[in-house]
Amino acid sequence: MNDSESCVSRRALLRAFAATAIAAAPTYSKAAGFLRGGGDIRKLRMYSGRTGERIDVIYWIDGKYIKESLREINVFMRDWRQNKAKAMDTRTLDIMSAAHNLMGTGEPYLMLSGYRTPQTNAYLRSQSSGVARNSLHMKAQAADLRLKSRSVNQMAQAAASFQAGGVGRYYGSNFVHMDCGPVRAWRG
Domains (range + CATH), the chain: 3-187 (3.30.1380.10)
Could you give the CA distance from residue 186 to residue 166 in angstroms, rounded to a whole number? 8
What is the maximum alpha-carbon separation in the chain? 56
Q: How far apart (Å, rounded) are the C-alpha atoms in residues 124 and 120?
A: 6
- Chain segment 141-171, per-residue pLDDT in tens: 999 999 999 999 999 999 999 999 999 999 9
pLDDT of residue 22: 37
Q: Is the pLDDT of residue 12 over 50?
A: no
Half-sphere exposure for 19 (CA within 13 Å, toward CB): 8
Mean pLDDT over residues 90-112, rounded? Answer: 97
> What length does the chain have?
188
d(CA 118, CA 126) in angstroms, rounded, equals 12
Residue 6 has pLDDT above 60, yes or no: no
Write down the pLDDT at residue 39: 57
DSSP string, 117-139: -HHHHHHHHHH-TTS-TT-GGGG
In this prediction, residues 87-105 reach a mean pLDDT of 97
Handedness of CA 71, 84, 80, 133 (dihedral sign): positive
Instruction: Quote the CA–CA distance of 122 and 134 in Å, as a whole number.
Output: 10
Q: Residue 40 above 70 pLDDT?
A: yes
35 CB burial (10 A radius; 0-12, 13-18, 19+): buried
Q: Which residue has the higher pLDDT, 12 or 177?
A: 177
Alpha-carbon distances, residue 163 vs 19, 67, 70, 99, 160 (angstroms): 15, 26, 23, 11, 5
CB-CB neighbours of 45 under 10 Å: 15
